[in-house]
Amino acid sequence: MPEADLDRDRRADVQRGYELTDLNPRFIALFGIGLVVAVALAVIVTSLFLRYRAFQQARQETPVPRLAREREITPQQRLQVDAPKELRQMRAAEDAALGSYGWVDKDAGIVKIPIDRAMEILAKKGLPARQQEQKKQ
């Protein structure tokens, strides 16, 4: 295009108050609509793909055992208020259990005796024959 034509177009544009070679508003609107449709399609396709992959992954995983699904609620924390007192009580209960006579199985004739007494009896009798043989080996 010759330079004279370009100068004439510029002068005409200045007289009109705007440039005639701007983009057509219809094309701008169509481009915007097309862009929105393209983004919407991309979102839909991506979400469908992600759901499909999640379904595939869930199908391939091993099922969760029933006990893992039905867990009991964990009890609240129990703090020791008086630890020395609780230790004394626990040791007293242990000493009472280890230092008393009682039936373990009355029908079978099995009794429990204090540890000190059991050690005295074993010291007088000696070890049972089978335990002596194991010690020699």
pLDDT tens, residue by residue, 13-46: 566 666 656 678 899 999 999 999 999 999 999 9
Claim: this prediction has a pTM higher than 0.75:
no
Domain end marker among 32, 60, 88:
60
- Which of 126 and 7 is assigned the larger pLDDT? 126
DSSP single-letter state for residue 19: -
* Domain that includes residue 43, residue range: 3-60
* Residue 112 placed within a domain: yes
DSSP single-letter state for residue 74: P
Distance CA 103, CA 112 (A): 6
Q: How confident is the model at residue 131 (pLDDT cuts 50, 70, 90)?
A: low
Q: For residue 33, how far is the Cα from the chain centroid?
A: 44
Q: How confident is the model at residue 130 (pLDDT cuts 50, 70, 90)?
A: low
Count structural domains, the chain: 2
* Residue 37 placed within a domain: yes
- Same domain for 104 and 56: no
